[in-house]
Amino acid sequence: MERAEKIPIPYNLLLLLSASVLIFAYIRWEDVVIQNPDGSYSIDDATSDKIADRVDRIEHKTVFYQLVAASNGYFICPLCPPEASSNNQYFLNYKEVYKYGITMAENHRYSQAELARWNLRYEQIAIGNYTEMLILETTFMAEYPLYPDNLRRPIKRRLITPPGSGTRLR
């Protein structure tokens, strides 16, 4: 008898679900439940619509994006090794990747003002369900050490993740 393969739940999805539970914890029962004429209860239309919209975004509208340098310059690099950076700043050339990420926000993750202030440009790479986009982000992050722009750098300045990444894969 074969064992069914276990599919791990992504940490980000678990965190997202936990946050959703906390958000709903501050709403009273009476705020989301209506009593039907027969005496039974159901979720009100506004709450049902919000849940349906969120599920739709998780299933179909999660965006995998990259932030790239809008021009040559120094960028904050929280995880850069000291020999690769100067005062937690890392030099990127125009169009080099600063960060990969995923978002379910309808109007991107960052405002145009923030991107301009940080000298970055937002580029959508793919759109799909949350799990697919998380896998894509993980794959791009894992392959970053072999990214052509990274390989052009002197060995001491090569990075294992993009400079704007707030996490390492190992």
Q: What is the pLDDT of residues 4-32, one digit of tens each?
A: 455 555 666 666 666 666 655 577 888 88
Give the span between the Cα atoms of 132 and 26, in whole angstroms: 31
Q: At 106, is the secondary structure helix, strand, or coil?
A: coil
Q: At 88, is the secondary structure helix, strand, or coil?
A: coil
Phi, psi of 33 (to 5 degrees): -115, 140
**Percent above pLDDT 90 for the chain:** 52
Residue with tokens 């914890």: 25
Give the span between the Cα atoms of 130 and 31, in whole angstroms: 29
Q: Give yes or no for residue 68 having a pLDDT over 80.
A: yes
The residue range of the domain holding 35 is 11-60
Q: Is residue 110 part of a domain?
A: yes
At 58 the pLDDT is 72
Residue 87, Ramachandran bin (φ over 0: left; ψ between -120 and 50: alpha; else beta): left
Q: Is residue 4 part of a domain?
A: no
Q: Give yes or no for residue 151 having a pLDDT over 70.
A: yes
Domains: count for the chain: 2
